[in-house]
Amino acid sequence: MATTRANWIYLFHGEDELSSHEAVQGLVARMKDSPMWECNVAFFDGDKLSLPDLAGTCRTSPFLADKRLVIVTNAISRLSEPGRSGGRDQGSSQERAPRGSKKAVTDELLGLLPEVPEFCRLVFLEEQLIPEKDPILKAVRTMGGFVKEHRLDESRLAIWIRERARKIECKISSEAMEELGAAVGPSSRLLNSEMVKLATYCEDRTIEAKDVRMLVSDARKANVFAMVDAMGLRQSEAALRELRKLLTEGDHPLRIMAMVVRQFRLLIQVKELSEAGLPPEEIAQRVGIFFRTVQGIQRQARNFSFQQLEAVYQRLLDFDVQVKTGAWEPEAALELLVMELVRG
């Protein structure tokens, strides 16, 4: 018996939420070819999702058109949040899940997917990364649905900023791109917002590093620096306090992890070059950071031996894999990791 292929089910997810939103906007734009398109596009918020309403909308024939578009935002990530429903979600998969629990809602949603008619384009839009082991992601992929992961990591920030600058028709120097990436990090929505602000301020001239330093808050970078400082000094309370500041300000644990990984990578590079006798000006040029940043990193590096730095860096990479594959819950695991690294 042939497997049903649900080519009309989509899942866009990842930290580069702006690209995901733009992909969905592209699907909406195609619907506008029909004069009755507004009657055939429906939006559902994952926080207030009613599955009977979603199922009814998906099964309703399009009005004077050949297809219907149904967009569900952040439902999968809401269902994966620990403790959200208060239900007993940790029981055996063979037990009947309590009505209204995360598992029961997930099972109900999984049951809906094969019943989505071909005239309905069902789109899941998730503003964070969904682990590969998630049952809904696995089901969409197995059914032949379209799954697109939009990632934005530290290594690609400059490329992303350059492309975004071209799209919004502004000019930005390479130094300003580095400064902006360091201040904001891999948050596409926030990067875009800051770039629009900078472009408006600078008008027709090139955005320079001094403009970024003046207009873009670097509190995020300062908090990470303070957290790594506390970790190096084995100050567990201070390290956790800075971590919780970042979480409270809305940074996703994976974004924080990317910042911490970057900071320890810089510590290793700067420590090696410093002990090789290179002056701060040359270190800044080789590593690709500002001269004023080198001295602060040199000070931090004195709190770690090479062996400690390499062990911490490897531990961070292992953690990153475990969280991104869904083996660990990000926020709690990040706190435990910080405590582990502080103990050394």
pLDDT tens digit sequence for 229-257: 787 777 888 888 888 887 776 667 777 77
User: Where residue 234 sits, what CATH number does that domain have?
Assistant: 1.20.272.10
Cβ atoms 167, 48 nearer than 8 A: no
Phi, psi of 290 (to 5 degrees): -75, 150
Q: Please tell me the distance from the alpha carbon of residue 32 to that of residue 269, in angstroms, as a whole number.
A: 52
pLDDT value for 320? 75
> Which whole number is the average pLDDT over 180-194?
78
Whether 94 has a pLDDT exceeding 60, the answer reads no
Residue 2 belongs to a domain: no
13: alpha, beta or left, given left = phi > 0 and alpha = psi -120 to 50?
A: beta
pLDDT value for 43? 95
Q: Please tell me the distance from the alpha carbon of residue 96 to that of residue 86, in angstroms, as a whole number.
A: 16
Q: Please tell me the distance from the alpha carbon of residue 56 to that of residue 308, in angstroms, as a whole number.
A: 57
pTM of the model: 0.54
Q: Indicate if 169 and 64 belong to the same structural domain.
A: no
pLDDT value for 157? 78
Least confident of 34-43, 120-129, 234-243, 323-332: 323-332
Please give the tally of structural domains in the chain: 3
pLDDT value for 108? 92
> Which whole number is the average pLDDT over 191-203?
90
Whether 93 has a pLDDT exceeding 60, the answer reads no
- Choosing from 149, 169, 191, the residue where a domain stops is 149
User: Where residue 198 sits, what CATH number does that domain have?
Assistant: 1.10.8.60
- Choosing from 170, 200, 215, the residue where a domain stops is 215
Range of the domain at 54: 9-149
pLDDT band at 7 (very low <50, low <70, confident <90, very high): confident
User: Where residue 16 sits, what CATH number does that domain have?
Assistant: 3.40.50.300
> Which whole number is the average pLDDT over 100-120?
89
